[in-house]
């Protein structure tokens, strides 16, 4: 008999949380905290917030990490699930797409939900760059350089950002610094307005020198930063360059996690529906200018959804480097200070723990959707090391207006 075609299901973002992000290094607040404990804390918080979700109904736990060794290794999705107290019947796995790790954890499991293999999943990411610096333990195949598959600068993310400045000379250091200051200001405003703390999970910390503590706020922000301050910073990737510690994300520790579900399952269980997945795309670009990746990824995701950039009412763009975000904005004709972009600030201010950041973008977009019922579609996008980009388009279930019913 002919097989009946599979009916795809709508996938929704139920809730997301994250730890406060810390500064990597011996003086950072997570210097003596395990990486896996950070993501375990996020999973436990999701379960605490949603007692209506039976733990045994969770079908998968997908956790991303870029450096999958030490306290970020051993199939961290499975071990974190066990240590978080989920039933032993709940499976888990680890995933790596560098900075796009958590985003890929979401899209991979979302596809399985749409197909019908899963009903509810937990997806997230963790990166403890203090314990595991980017590139720790890797052994790049010499053919990559010897056969000129990529330029050597492709393996140094800051150098790829300098290359992007070369490609787009209209994006000056002064413009990048101004964007970075705006990111700091927007995050400070978001904290002042109580928009950040609701998604943060307090984390107990330990220091042999200072004893026990409690992390409740992001450690990297520098409120009050000025363009004049940033103008004095060194350019470590190139003499007289344009990329500095002030207009780029720092080295950070942190974790994120979210609950995804089939919309019908969420309704049955009484879970909130905070966003609805529309489309997503990952693309490859020249590794030497990996920061341009979100541009073709967004174009591909828009095409798959039958939308245009004008349909997007909110943008959450990961600020690995200011130049990378500005290249995206210029391509799509969006002003540097467009209020739709990174309303709560971005990674330049609050940090970028590599594989964790994708879910941070989604959690912030979900919060903004609640405050913007006039917006129907939002975008989360980021650049990814070794020349890739990822983009996910979401629909606002809180949409009001003449076409609100069409969004159901």
Q: How many domains does the chain have?
A: 1
pTM for the model stands at 0.95
Establish if 40 belongs to a structural domain: no
DSSP secondary structure letters along 108-177: HHHHHHHHTS-SEEEEEEEEETTTS-TTTT----THHHHTTSS-GGGG-HHHHHHHHHHH-TTS-HHHHH
> Among 128, 131, 165, 352, which one carries the catalytic annotation?
352
Q: In terms of pLDDT, which residue wins out, 138 or 83?
A: 83
Establish if 85 belongs to a structural domain: no
Establish if 246 belongs to a structural domain: no
* CATH for 171: 3.40.47.10
Establish if 311 belongs to a structural domain: yes
Establish if 217 belongs to a structural domain: no
> Among 99, 258, 372, 398, which one carries the catalytic annotation?
99
Query: For this structure, is 258 an active site residue?
Result: no
- Angle of helix 357-371 versus helix 101-115 axis, rounded to 10: 70
Domain range for residue 392? 143-195+278-396
Establish if 282 belongs to a structural domain: yes
Percentage with pLDDT > 70 across the chain: 97
Q: In terms of pLDDT, which residue wins out, 370 or 140?
A: 370
Across the chain, mean pLDDT equals 95
Residue 148 has pLDDT above 90, yes or no: no
> Among 50, 131, 258, 383, which one carries the catalytic annotation?
383
Query: For this structure, is 383 an active site residue?
Result: yes
Q: In terms of pLDDT, which residue wins out, 23 or 207?
A: 23
pLDDT tens, 175-227?
999 999 999 999 999 999 999 999 999 999 998 888 999 999 999 999 999 99
Establish if 158 belongs to a structural domain: yes
Beta-carbon count within 10 A of 338 CB = 12
Residue 248 has pLDDT above 70, yes or no: yes
* Contact in structure between 22 and 252 (CB atoms under 8 Å): yes
Q: Please, which residues bridge with residue 60 across strands?
A: 121
Establish if 236 belongs to a structural domain: no
Q: Is 15 helix (H, G, I), strand (E, B) or coil?
A: strand
């Amino acid at each position: 008999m002919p097989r009946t075609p599979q009916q795809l299901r709508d996938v929704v973002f139920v809730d997301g949380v994250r730890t406060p992000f810390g500064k990597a290094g011996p003086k950072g607040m997570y210097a003596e905290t395990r990486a896996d404990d950070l993501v375990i804390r996020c999973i436990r918080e999701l379960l605490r917030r949603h007692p209506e979700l039976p733990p045994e109904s969770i079908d998968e736990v997908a956790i991303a990490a870029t450096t999958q060794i030490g306290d970020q290794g051993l199939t961290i999705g499975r071990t974190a699930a066990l240590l978080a107290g989920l039933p032993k019947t709940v499976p888990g796995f680890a995933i790596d797409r560098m900075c796009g790790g958590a985003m890929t954890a979401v899209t991979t499991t979302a596809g399985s939900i749409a197909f019908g293999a899963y009903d509810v999943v937990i997806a997230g990411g963790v990166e403890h760059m203090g314990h595991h610096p980017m590139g720790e333990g890797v052994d790049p195949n010499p053919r990559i350089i010897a056969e000129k598959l990529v330029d050597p600068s492709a393996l140094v993310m800051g150098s790829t950002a300098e290359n992007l400045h070369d490609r787009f000379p209209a994006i000056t250091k002064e413009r990048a610094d101004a964007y970075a200051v705006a990111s700091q200001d927007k995050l400070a405003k978001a904290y002042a307005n109580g928009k950040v703390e609701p998604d943060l999970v307090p984390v107990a910390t330990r220091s042999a020198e200072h004893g026990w503590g409690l992390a409740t706020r992001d450690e990297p922000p520098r409120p009050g930063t000025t363009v004049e301050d940033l103008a004095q910073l060194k350019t470590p990737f190139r003499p007289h360059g344009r990329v500095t510690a002030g207009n780029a994300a720092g080295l950070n520790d942190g974790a994120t996690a979210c609950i995804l579900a089939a919309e019908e399952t969420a309704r049955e269980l009484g879970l909130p529906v905070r966003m609805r997945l529309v489309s997503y795309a990952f693309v490859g670009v020249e590794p030497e200018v990996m920061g341009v990746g979100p541009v073709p990824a967004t174009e591909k995701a828009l095409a798959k959804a039958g939308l245009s950039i004008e349909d997007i009412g909110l943008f959450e763009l990961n600020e690995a480097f200011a130049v990378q975000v500005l290249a995206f904005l210029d391509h799509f004709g969006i002003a540097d200070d467009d209020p739709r972009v990174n309303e709560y600030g971005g990674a330049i201010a609050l940090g970028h723990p590599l594989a964790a950041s994708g879910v941070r973008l989604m959690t912030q977009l979900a919060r903004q959707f609640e405050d913007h019922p006039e917006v129907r579609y939002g975008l989360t996008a980021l650049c990814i090391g070794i020349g890739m980009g990822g983009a996910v388009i979401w629909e606002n279930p809180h949409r009001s207006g003449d076409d609100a019913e069409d969004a159901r």
